[in-house]
Amino acid sequence: MRPSPLCRAALILQLCLYPVARADSFLSESLLRKNPIHNVLEHQPARNVDCKNSSPTGPIDTTMCDYETVESVNDRLYANLHELVRMPFFKYFQVDLYRECPFWSDDGSCSDPGCAITTVDESEIPEKWRASALSRLEGSKIDDRHELPGCYYRDSDFCFLDDNTEGDYYDLSLIPERYTGYAGADAARVWRTIYEENCFGLSELTLMAGPNPGLVSLPESMSEAFRTESGEVGQCLEKRVYYKVISGLHASISTHICQEHLNQTTGEWAPNLQCFINRVASHPERLQYIYFNTVLLLRAVARIGPYLSAFDYCSTGNHEDDAETLSMLSNVISIAQNAGRFDETVLFRGENANILKEEFKAHFRNVTRIMDCVGCDKCRLWGKIQTTGVATALKILFELDEKALDPATNHNLLQRSEVVALINTLHRFSESLEAVEGFREMWKATSATEGEKLIVEAERAEAATTRPKPSPAAGREPGEKRLEVVFVRWLRLCRESTASCLGLVVDMWRRGLSALASAFAPSNKERGPAGFDL
């Protein structure tokens, strides 16, 4: 997985010449951006990029991969995944959608027809993938489970898994993830509860405001990218990863909803540019987190590649679809080995590593259980699939050693549902990046007047949403240290541009007035995370 010395030298030289993304790029780590919506929608993705690229934007925070590499491979990745998830093995998913919500009694059920989904009769499912066969297979394994009604988890799991005794089968190729009409207080309550499982108290604001030493180099190990000026590794790697996983998942789901949005007037499904601007483009860090999750999932696929290659995907008996499935899967694994550069060995180290990991797992398991509280059947289905997919990736990266990943000695390592969820979730993120390209084409076709109206509407929608006060990042000293960081950034910005410096002064004055006003305003915590709805 490590680049060659020559390639590595080229990368380091490039990052010395171009140490950070341009200040006007949506890929910039700057908290204050000029024209963020324009920067997202007018960004030109890289094509055919490798380590000889002449002007990289820099590494994706907390990974060893740059944005251009992801952009360069996504067309091919999406094409293979889009066909792969339509193959019999990956399109049939068995799940219990009607377990009781463990957090509140009223699930706010959606009565809109768009929320409904259709099951598949078990007779249409290949026999070896039915619940009875899978239960026999699992029953033969010695496994320390922690069981709840209808589900369980093992010590290595980051999610709750169905026990296959109940639940229905669904053909995912017939159930697109899109706008359903499920919104408002019920949807906000789900996401608010999910974000409350962010036990580290991070937010978009605190992540973007925090120092990011990773912009100065792209060394072999991710740990080097997080060393402070004193040489010590920062304390918030796991915390940043956790928040970005959750926020990136949310942003990806929002992108799918905007991509297939129902026009209430015509009754037609079509991309909704205003929706995308409001939910994602006006907050560039959310798009960054989609990139981040894509790299994390690719790394998991790359690591478990031999296991996936040894799986039996045959359903018809003539092995034709098995060979076709393996061919497309091999292409995906090959791409993953190139772009999935995430150094999982750096996380969960030190004397409190096991405690932190167990806390991380417990909170993410709760996120998967919160999916039982989603009132829309279609939203609940895709929520379960994607949280299971991400949880499977986390297990692959942080719980399984090379011996466990050996298909010759551990061929029952993952449930079939975990494999299906992992690949479908990667497809969801790749499709989100593909959809962004479509929104950029829509933006190009928009007149200046229409574009200005879209931006004004996005600003109006943002102003109408009261943001909850962000929690301070764990491990950060209050007071002088935060002021020192702000002061240093201010000086740097003023040296680079007088106009930007003046703009920062005005923005800080405006923020001060806003903070003063908010001190006397209700908290509105019941609204949930600002700007993020189902």
pLDDT digits (tens, 9 = 90+) for 82-91: 999 999 899 9
Maximum mean pLDDT: which of 175-179, 216-220, 269-273, 314-318: 269-273
Q: Is residue 118 part of a domain?
A: no
Q: Is residue 288 part of a domain?
A: yes
Give the count of domains, the chain: 1
Q: Is residue 516 part of a domain?
A: no
Q: Which of 61-75, 193-207, 261-275 has the lowest mean pLDDT?
A: 193-207
478 pLDDT more than 50: no
Active-site residue among 199, 379, 494, 501? 379
What angle, 0 to 180 degrees and rounded to 10, lies between the N-to-C axes of helices 237-259 and 185-196? Answer: 160
Is residue 63 within 8 A of residue 295, CB to CB? The reply is yes
Residue 195 CB contacts under 8 Å (≥ 6 apart), including other chains: 246, 528, 529
Q: Is residue 515 part of a domain?
A: no
Cross-strand pairs, 261:
270
Cα(213)–Cα(220) distance, integer angstroms:
15
Question: Per residue in 480-496, is it b (16+ CB within 10 Å) or e — as a string?
Answer: eebeeeeeebeeebeee
Is residue 188 within 8 A of residue 533, CB to CB? The reply is yes
Q: What is the chain's length?
A: 534
Active site residue 314: no
Name the residue range of residue 297's domain.
5-90+173-465
Q: Strand locations in 31-125, DSSP E?
A: 92-95
pTM: 0.76
217 pLDDT more than 60: no
Among the listed residues 30, 17, 15, 2, the one whose alpha carbon sits nearest the alpha carbon of residue 218: 15
Cα(534)–Cα(532) distance, integer angstroms:
7
Q: Counting runs of H as helices and runs of E as strands, what totals does the chain give? A: 18, 7
Q: Alpha-carbon torsion 315, 316, 322, 325, what sign?
A: negative
Q: Is residue 21 part of a domain?
A: yes
Q: Is residue 179 part of a domain?
A: yes
Maximum mean pLDDT: which of 256-270, 299-313, 424-438: 424-438
Active site residue 275: no
**pLDDT computed for residue 273 by the predictor:** 96
Q: Is residue 350 part of a domain?
A: yes
Is residue 260 within 8 A of residue 179, CB to CB? The reply is yes
69 pLDDT more than 90: no
Q: Is residue 358 part of a domain?
A: yes
Active-site residue among 51, 110, 376, 501? 376
